[in-house]
Amino acid sequence: MNHLFADSFDARFDSEAACIEWLFQIRWPNGFECPSCAHSHATVISTRRLPLYECRRCLRQTSLTAGTILEKSRTPLRKWLYAMWLMSQPEQGINAVRLQSLLSVTYKTAFYMLRKLRLAMGSLEAQPALSGSVQAGLDYLGRGILSVQEAAEGRKTPIMTAVAMDTTGCLNQVALAVVPPAFVRDRCLLPVGKIHFAERYIDPNATSAVIADSLLRTNRQFVNLRIYGHSFRDWMLQTFHGLGGGYLQTYLDEFVFQVNASLQGVPPFEKLSYLSMRPAHPYVRSPRSVRPSLAA
């Protein structure tokens, strides 16, 4: 790990108190707000590892991490923030073995932390619906990405790759999603698969949307889609060494988070810190209203 990189984190977050102050400002940028009655004043109880905030109106006690992905974690906030710092560096990437070493935690804890942060990266708030001019198509991930057993069995996982462009034709958002096998036949996306993807990933008010049933036989119109699929493969090979299909979506979400932060000029560490303080919800994409033309 680059010493200058580590030193820059240490200079910004030199203590647990500095981490508490940072996350407090993110969760309550306008000052404390009681989750029950919205009162703005609280008494701080500092007898625990993390402070409690007791509302002066309704007396409800709230911790800084209540309702977030950090709730009930016994891992110091400084280690959580360092994990976010590491995951926010697109040119490096971090796996559980490396994080275990850097944070001096167990492998189980490192894996748990990365899992939680990837779920935050895949939240609807992190990845809003694609709008503007949308292109999407079916692609496959196989050898070099999946586990040794899956690769040996010749299995490949179908994924949807999608990009959104603004009115000037500039890319501003990317999406990658694992496709349920039932939506694919003869290596082509079925109409029901197009509808399923459009309902969950495309804004019904998108200017236009074209969904290709396969990127294996499409023209240059979809060149951006193949580029991001290949970029994900290269990123995975550089950072990880095979994974089971059950976790693939969360790795796709991490990659997409990095790409979209770059496209939109958003500081990834600040964005991930913000997402870590948002209400934690299971990763579920609900269907949206969708125009039939979006899945044509």
pLDDT at 15 over 60: yes
* 66: in domain: no
* 144: in domain: yes
* 101: in domain: no
* 252: in domain: yes
Q: Which residues contact 194 (CB under 8 A, 6 or more apart)?
A: 211, 213, 295, 296
The predicted structure's pLDDT at residue 233:
81
pLDDT at 19 over 80: yes
Q: How far, CA to CA in Å, does 46 sit from each of 59, 64, 72, 208, 211?
A: 16, 12, 17, 54, 55
pLDDT in tens, 98-110: 999 999 999 999 9
Which one is predicted more confidently, 191 or 141? 191
**Mean pLDDT of the region 203-223:** 82
pTM, entire model = 0.86
**Mean pLDDT of the region 107-123:** 95
pLDDT at 22 over 90: yes
The predicted structure's pLDDT at residue 1:
47
Share the mean pLDDT of the chain: 86
Domain that holds residue 218: 133-264+275-295
HSE-up of 207 (CA within 13 Å, CB side)? 10
The predicted structure's pLDDT at residue 294:
47
**Mean pLDDT of the region 15-29:** 97
pLDDT in tens, 227-250: 888 888 888 877 776 665 678 899
* 17: in domain: no
The predicted structure's pLDDT at residue 256:
94
The predicted structure's pLDDT at residue 124:
85
Confidence of residue 117 (pLDDT cuts 50, 70, 90): very high
* 40: in domain: no
pLDDT at 155 over 80: no
HSE-up of 15 (CA within 13 Å, CB side)? 5
* 47: in domain: no
- C-alpha angle 229-234-239 in degrees, rounded to nearest 5: 125
pLDDT at 293 over 60: no
pLDDT at 265 over 80: yes
Burial class (CB in 10 A: 0-12, 13-18, 19+), 159: buried
**Mean pLDDT of the region 63-76:** 95
* 104: in domain: no
